Amino acid sequence: MGASTRLLCAVIMGAPGSSKDTVLSCIIKHLELKHLSSGDLLRQNMLLGTESGVPAKTLIDQGKLIPDDVMTPRALHELKNLMEHSWLLDGFPRTLPQAEALNKAYQIDTMINLNVPFYVIKQRLTARWIYLASGRVYKIEFNPPKTVGIDDLTREPFVQREDDKPDTIDSNHFVW
């Protein structure tokens, strides 16, 4: 009888700008986990113009979160494609109803919560710019573009997301 391997189901949490991408890229590389990012999932659905992607674009453009009744089924559906793999979730769950639905569907083995002071997050986010079509991120201090305001690969302009602007950050105070 061969050794059985139990799959790992993990979640990384933290406010936007808490360096989840940096931490999870190290974890994924060393533990060979599949990665499911709610942001990547939403961008894909927006590009495809799906039933959930169209309203998601409107909300994201306004700096708002995607409602539970849209995000939860979308994320849980994608997790079904990862049943044969260990995985790490990023950006889901963000609310108690999302967490309850995830807990009902899967046994989560570990959760990582990145707790970063608000002033650090504000500094990071206001210096973050994004090429929307791919989700490629530029950070003015740590990963600046070769040409200010232009994506390095496509040579097209990139933008600062509405939810990364100082006024939005101050008004939201990171309720997620």
pLDDT digit string, tens, across residues 126-153? 888 888 777 788 888 888 889 888 888 8
Cα diameter, the chain: 61
Locate the domains of the chain by residue range. Answer: 7-115, 117-176
Whole-angstrom Cα distance, residue 60 to residue 65? Answer: 7
Q: Is the pTM of this model over 0.85?
A: no
Q: At what angle do helices 53-61 and 38-48 cross, to 10 degrees?
A: 110
* C-alpha of 136 from chain center: 12
pLDDT winner (highest mean) among 6-10, 34-38, 97-101, 165-169: 97-101
Pairing of strands 87-90, 9-14: parallel
Model confidence over 59-87: pLDDT tens digits? 877 777 789 998 999 999 999 999 899 99
Count the Cβ atoms, other than its own, within 10 Å of residue 65.
15
**Bridge partners, 171 (sequence order):** none
Structurally, what CATH architecture does the domain formed by 7-115 represent?
3-Layer(aba) Sandwich (3.40)
Element containing residue 87 per DSSP (H, E): strand 87-90
Question: What pLDDT does 108 receive?
Answer: 94
Whole-angstrom Cα distance, residue 72 to residue 61? Answer: 20
